[in-house]
A and B are shown apart, each in its own frame.
Chain A
C-alpha cells in the first residue's frame, strides 16, 4: 500500500492549453474523489467515482472539465482551454465502502498554475 499517488505534482501551462492530471488510488479502494483547493480556501468537492462509474459531479465542474476512471483503477482529470481561474491545487482521495469514516486517503495533489 503506497497511498494515493498524483502526477504531476506541479504543472505550469499557458492559458488556453489543455492539461491532464492522473490519480492512482489505493489498490483496494473502489471509491475515488476529486477536490479543488484554491489559495487560502478549503478543498471543494468536484466529482466522485464508484468503480468506473461517475456518480456525482459538482456544479463547479464546468463543461471544460472531464474526469474518467476507465477500468475502475486510476483516474484522469482533464481541463480543456485552461483559464487563469483554474489555477489551484487538485486533490484526489480514495476510500473503500467498508473502511468507514476514517477511510478517506488523500494524495499530495497537483498544483496547477495557468499563466
Chain B
C-alpha cells in the first residue's frame, strides 16, 4: 500500500525567503506519480506540481520546484521568494491505481505561514 509522510505540522517563514516542505513516500510500484496541492482556508485543493517516477529532471512550475530524490523516496516542495498569499495548508500526494483509474493518497499536510 502507498503511504505519504509529511513530518512538519507547521512552518513559519519570512516573506521573500525560500521554504522547503518535506515529503517522503512508500510504495512498491515501479511507476508512480507524486503531487503537491495547496489548500487555502476556502477549502479548495489547488494543484501545484507533478513529478513522475521516471522523470529524470526535477519538476518546476514558476516559483514551485520539486526536489525528487528517488533512492531516498523523498519529494520535497521548494517555494522560492515566498509571498503572503502562500500561507495555506500544503499536501503531498501519490497516485495509486484503482480499477480503471487512479486515486490520490495524501499526507497529513503542512501548514505554512508567511510572516510580513
Chain A contacts to B: CB under 8 angstroms: 31, 33, 35, 40-45, 48, 50, 55-56, 89, 91, 93, 95, 97, 101-102, 104-109, 111
Chain B contacts to A: CB under 8 angstroms: 4, 33, 35, 37, 42-47, 50, 52, 91, 93, 95, 98-101, 103-109
Q: Chain B: which residue is nearest A95 at the CB level?
A: B101
Out of B93, B95, B103, name the residue touching A56 (CB < 8 Å). B103
Q: What are 28 A-B contacts with C-beta separation under 8 Å?
A: A35-B104, A40-B108, A40-B109, A41-B109, A42-B4, A42-B93, A42-B107, A43-B91, A45-B105, A48-B99, A48-B101, A48-B103, A55-B98, A55-B100, A56-B99, A56-B103, A89-B43, A93-B45, A95-B101, A97-B101, A101-B52, A101-B95, A102-B50, A104-B104, A106-B46, A108-B43, A108-B44, A109-B43
